[in-house]
Structure 1
Amino acid sequence: MIWAVIAVTLVVIAFKSAPQAAGDAETPSAVVTLPQVAVAKGPITNTVTLTGSVVADPASEEKVTQLGKVTAVHAKVGDVVAAGAPLLEVTLETPQDPLITTNKETGEETVTERKPKVTRTTMKAGSAGTVATFTAIKDQEVSVGETFASISPGTLSVTASMLPEQQFRLLTIPTEATVTVTGGPAPFTCTSLRMGTAAAASTTGAEETGNEPGATPSASITCAVPAGTVVFAGLAAKLEVTAGSAEDALLVPITSVQGSVETGNVWVVAEDGTNTEKAVKLGITDGSQVQIVEGLAEGDLVLEFVPGQDVAPVDEGMMYGGSAG
């Protein structure tokens, strides 16, 4: 009870001692000014940097196309073969019904046995490379669709995983990228750039994309290492993909825009300080700025941060952002 009395007394003293100007009882003690930024012109380049590795291109499987018995083997593990080179011969013997003839005068029938129908098929290499595996042997019975060999192309690629936000920045995939291999040669251009599905296991996804642990890749990107470039499978590599650039583009910070692909919303600041939501058409982004293709003009003022978005606190314990005015 004694502590309660002391607390009440302190509150009363505080209220009585607080200075207050006469006639100014409703004047706020602080005014929040939302940060603004002007739409400016400048160059912008959309370059996405990914962390990946050098990998050996997978071997192609060679499959049996004819039921039967192996009658000839034309290759072995380690052989270098060209596309279309013979690998395996399979022979199928199909029994034929006997030939029956009837003597017109006597009506006597003659049965003549016929030799089986023989079909020989040669399986040829579907691609050039080195024979990595070869399981078929002579006189072995084989079935259609059975894998009997694999051919390694002996080529290398660079592959990396992408997060959803990176994939959105690469809606249009260029044909090449710049690769830097750790401890390898000078940066080189890799070609035949293509996008694929993300790796099934994502335990290394954060490391491969250079992002925070726990991030889940949504796709992968791969390109071919040019012939004559000395690199080895397993080496770490940085992949820089440039998907567009523009000069004299209208630019605003990405923090000013709600949305990041094709369309978005900004909050335009009027002369009286009020702000109004406005739809805009977006172009490319470099991760910190975004191009405004339609909806704003150079010099227009917009809020630097989307209203309601939490950002770093400022003096007096206030937050930039808040409800739109």
Structure 2
Amino acid sequence: MTEGTPLVTVTDAAMTLRAVVSPAQVLRLAGRTPIEVNAQLDGSSGPFGCDLRDPRPTDADGEYSLLCAIPEDVPAVVGLSGLVAIRLDERADVLALPIEAVAGTVTHGSVYPEGSERPTPVELGITDGAYVEIVSGLADGDVVRIPSPSLLRQQQ
């Protein structure tokens, strides 16, 4: 994204806010529940709650986006830019690893225990884009190799 590129744009007379999301952000949203969605339009009144029309990003013309309705009492005109903030469900006190330690898909992956040349399968939970929850396959205190040798082999 280049400087000056709007993050969101008011797109139609129904005053819908369209937030463009990257493929990495789409993965972070997968299987997660938005707890709170707020938006702010440039030059308009303060932040407001924004109801997502669908919590799953849609793909239109090769670009993923989320749509949320702007409340009627919020001053807005077509073409305004702004920001959308989405707070997702959170989990505390879970086993998590940096994403570069895990090779795999959204729900299943593998890690390499320190000193081992064989991968250990793990079940994955939610991610914030930097860390991924390990649902099963490892125990607290287990040490793994970072980055995953599987990821290094795929880059060669």
- Give the TM bin, normalised by the shorter chain: 0.7 to 0.9
Structure 1 unaligned regions, length at least 5: 1-49, 58-154, 201-215, 310-320
- Amino acid paired to 2:46: A
Q: For residues 80-131 of structure 1, give each alpha carbon's deviation from its aligned partner in whole angstroms, at most 9, with x where no partner exists.
A: xxxxxxxxxxxxxxxxxxxxxxxxxxxxxxxxxxxxxxxxxxxxxxxxxxxx
| 2:94 counterpart of 1:249 | yes
Kept in 2: contact 1:176–1:223 (CA 8 A): no
Match of 2:46 among 177, 180, 186: 186
Distance in 1, Cα, partners of 2:81 & 2:40: 9
Kept in 1: contact 2:10–2:79 (CA 8 A): yes
Structure of larger gyration radius: 1
Residue equivalent to 2:3: none
Q: How does 1:215-234 map to 2 (within 5 A)?
A: 216-217=62-63, 219-234=64-79
The structure 1 segments of at least 4 consecutive aligned residues displaced by more than 6 Å after TM superposition are none
- Amino acid paired to 1:235: L
Kept in 2: contact 1:161–1:198 (CA 8 A): no
Aligned sequence identity (%): 32
Distance in 2, Cα, partners of 1:170 & 1:299: 28
Distance in 2, Cα, partners of 1:252 & 1:243: 19
State the SS of the aligned residue for 1:280.
Answer: strand
Aligned CA-pair RMSD = 2.6
Match of 2:84 among 201, 226, 239: 239
Residue equivalent to 1:83: none
| 2:110 counterpart of 1:265 | yes
Structure 2 unaligned regions, length at least 5: 1-5
Match of 1:163 among 6, 10, 22: 22
State the SS of the aligned residue for 2:34.
Answer: coil
- TM-score between the two structures when normalised by the length of structure 1: 0.41
Shift of 1:305: 0.4
| 2:132 counterpart of 1:290 | yes
Distance in 1, Cα, partners of 2:24 & 2:57: 16
Distance in 1, Cα, partners of 2:126 & 2:58: 24
Taking a change above 3 Å as real, the CA distance of residues 299 and 262 of structure 1, as seen in their structure-2 partners, is same
- Amino acid paired to 2:21: M
